Structure 1
């Protein structure tokens, strides 16, 4: 673990700046929470040891050190650091950066081009990097909070190594608090429980934590705060959640798989994560309806009824009252017996329908509304099941070319076990009628 910063480590320019800037690491070994990258065996550690830096994409949550690592990388390998932001820069700015990088290259100075929020550049702008990365004019270090697989061009990804930064854990955030106290030369005005609450409120974001610490130090508090006092004074970090980006898809996947795994507690947790972050309740309801058919099916036919009823209840009540109906549907689905037999049957039947094309059903089950159709045999020999013993004729309903197929195989779980018994009974009657 890195040593705490001493007071004389702080540059004169930073002394009056924000606490987060004053505590910014001076070397890669001072970076907290990313030892899997910056340590001797990490990808960044190995690059620095070799003295050669390849283009990389740093992917991770806010406040985990992407900008700091990029700046320190340039220092560690003796490169010129050129930062730009995709939010404020366009093609004209990029042309200037590349021209300057070429001029410095002629003087023997390599350039590390750091592009913050690189995912905000469109496809054409991303393509503009390619020739300059390929010919070595710049070494690209892009930073993004979004999944590069979705947001960056394949051509750009093929020329850069994606390195994943982790959200800062409690130990890393505690180390930041220790550094802040060493710099300020006094302890935080918090009791032990409030200190833990402060760390939890940061949700893995080191920059947010240090901003909160700076606020605490700026207030003259008569005594140490407890968790209630801290909560009244400071706000929690808003959870990172973009409805159209990876966080959205990660949480809905976690909800679906928790439901499938019959874990109502985890399912309720991910449901709460989504709704408290501002997800559209009807989106969650659509997923629950889908789940009821895909993962429960006839094992409990009431699951679909519950989900549709929750949708109606939410439409009627709105938020927040209607969200209780969503919770009820979520818990019902999580605790219901599971079966994907209907889902598998659908896939098999759809494949068979595509493969077999336009096969004619057997004539005995075809309607014959005209005289000609009767003459050619439509409807001939049809057995009306309600007139048969047990209400079951055992007739053939399959095209002659393929014969009977089995798509739906019910499980032995929940109501589907009774369905399996019925199918087995009808199959037994068919065999007996065939032997008669």
Structure 2
């Protein structure tokens, strides 16, 4: 009896519905049609080595198979997770034998970013001399995961996440193939596409589960969520997804968009990010992008961090969400950040200059004899509690590192600085 779990007979629906031509691939028309790189290669009959970069379930493996088929090349698929140097050596030996017989080889390496630098280097001579056409598939940014020598010998093609309209096409193909209507209405299909999260393979897997149910009654949204498990969001806390989402959060905050900021904050939490990592980034943001335009920003973010440390999850995340909203709606200023960088640059250039003796303490007779502290004016003893003395090294001209903008609390700070500047100027003319 054939069952769903019979290893010798069962073939996943995603495999059975794999496209048989480039025209059947959905969502990647920017590559396969017209002047797209694959369309051009198909017309010219010249296939070059490629790196296919895109999320899971967008068609990377299918594209490689079809390119081998249309180019009349022997298809040699390997997985970087399961293969090592010995496996690569055997593949190259077979490819060399085919080359002697006048037949080419398309070597498809799934998860190519899993190979280390030495393994990646082993491809180079075989790609250069035409022993293999290499097509590597990766979900990670090739700029970070593949060495420059390999990248210089390949063309990187970016595959896109499948949209709902693409998933609808796959859904209709599946229904036609199964010769059966699935128990979903428009709302159910919309939820199904959201659960697939741009992954065509995940969609087919869920359709396969639904195909075991009768076409009636129509499943409610609640029933559908019980039957299926939502696909985990794409997020790797140690890879590009991590940096992309924290960048999106940071820039949404800087752009004063509280709704977008909350969305990216929630996305990171759903992906399993450590809330304390996000809290630390918010503390940095409070100084870098808000600064003294709202001095409470730093206090709020530190308080949110401490609240999370006391409450833990899930209650503590609300405190961090409050900090996200506070930062997003706060006036923005990078004046502190810019002042700090200017001061550091100046310090590196003038690092050996001594402070002026007038502001140095003179605890010993020798130091007093050298003029330490001589002429120092105690600011609180002056009429305006401001002496206007020079506190920069004698060898330096006075510098202006901090220039607050006319917004938020820094508007008041600028008034003070301008007032002190006028006092300093008037005091210097009296000397």
Q: TM-score range by the shorter chain?
A: over 0.9
Q: Which residue of 2 aligns with 1:77?
A: 71
The counterpart of 1:154, out of the listed 113, 137, 148, is 148
CA contact (8 A) 2:182 2:214 kept: no
Q: How does 1:42-81 map to 2 (within 5 A)?
A: 42-81=36-75
1:119-157 per-residue CA deviation (whole Å, 9 max, x = no partner) reads 000111111111111111101000000000110011000
Question: What is the CA–CA distance in structure 1 between the aligned matches of 2:163 and 2:399, rounded to whole Å?
Answer: 55
Indicate the larger mover: 43-52 or 341-350.
Answer: 43-52
Structure 1: unaligned runs, 5 residues or longer: 1-13
1:422 corresponds to which of 394, 416, 425 = 416
> Which of 184, 206, 229 is the matching residue for 2:223?
229
1:10 alignment partner in structure 2: none
Cα distance in 1 for partners of 2:216, 2:258 equals 45
Residue 202 of structure 1 deviates from its aligned partner by 0.7
2:205 alignment partner in structure 1:
211
Task: Give the Cα separation in 2 of the matches to 1:189 and 1:119.
Answer: 40
- 1:114 paired residue number: 108
Distance in 2 (CA, whole Å) between partners of 1:285 and 1:34 is: 38
Q: What are the Cα deviations for residues 342-377 of structure 1, in whole angstroms up to 9, with x where unaligned? A: 000011000000011211221111111111111111
Residue 242 in structure 1 maps to residue 236 in structure 2: yes
Match of 2:4 in 1: none
In 1: Cα distance, 2:318 partner to 2:180 partner: 47
CA distance in 2: counterparts of 1:275 and 1:185, whole angstroms: 40
Report how far residue 221 of structure 1 moved. Answer: 5.3
Q: CA deviation at 1:222?
A: 3.7
- Secondary structure class of the residue paired with 2:419: helix
Give the alignment's TM-score, normalised by structure 2.
0.97
Deviation at 1:15, TM superposition (A): 9.0
| Cα RMSD, aligned residues only | 1.1
SS at match of 1:163: strand
- The CA deviation string for residues 290-333 of structure 1, in whole angstroms up to 9 with x for no partner, is 00000000001111011111111111010001111100111111
| Alignment correspondent of 2:393 | 399
In structure 2, distance between residues paired with 1:375 and 1:16: 96
Aligned-partner Cα distance in 1 for 2:253–2:186: 37
Structure 2 CA distance, aligned partners of 1:428 and 1:396? 14
Aligned twin of 1:341: 335
Q: Distance in 2 between the 1:90 and 1:169 partners? A: 35
CA distance in 2, matches of 1:218, 1:229: 15
Query: Contact 1:15–1:22 at 8 Å: present in 2 too?
Result: no
Equivalent residue of 1:81, what SS? strand
Q: Which residue of 1 aligns with 2:194?
A: 200
- Show the counterpart of 2:269: 275
Secondary structure of 2:384 counterpart: helix
The total of aligned residue pairs comes to: 423
Aligned equivalent of 2:427, options 422, 433, 436: 433
Mapped contact 2:357–2:373 kept (Cα < 8 A)? yes
In 2, are the aligned partners of 1:83 and 1:114 still within 8 Å (CA)?
Answer: yes
Tell me the CA shift for residue 219 of structure 1.
Answer: 2.1
Q: Which residue of 1 aligns with 2:3?
A: none
Q: Deviations over 1:226-252 (max 9, x none)?
A: 222211211111101110000000000
- Taking the aligned partners of 2:216 and 2:343, their CA distance within structure 1 comes to 73
Does structure 2 conserve the Cα–Cα contact (< 8 Å) formed by 1:289 and 1:307?
A: yes
Q: Secondary structure at the match of 1:315?
A: helix
CA contact (8 A) 1:56 1:163 kept: yes
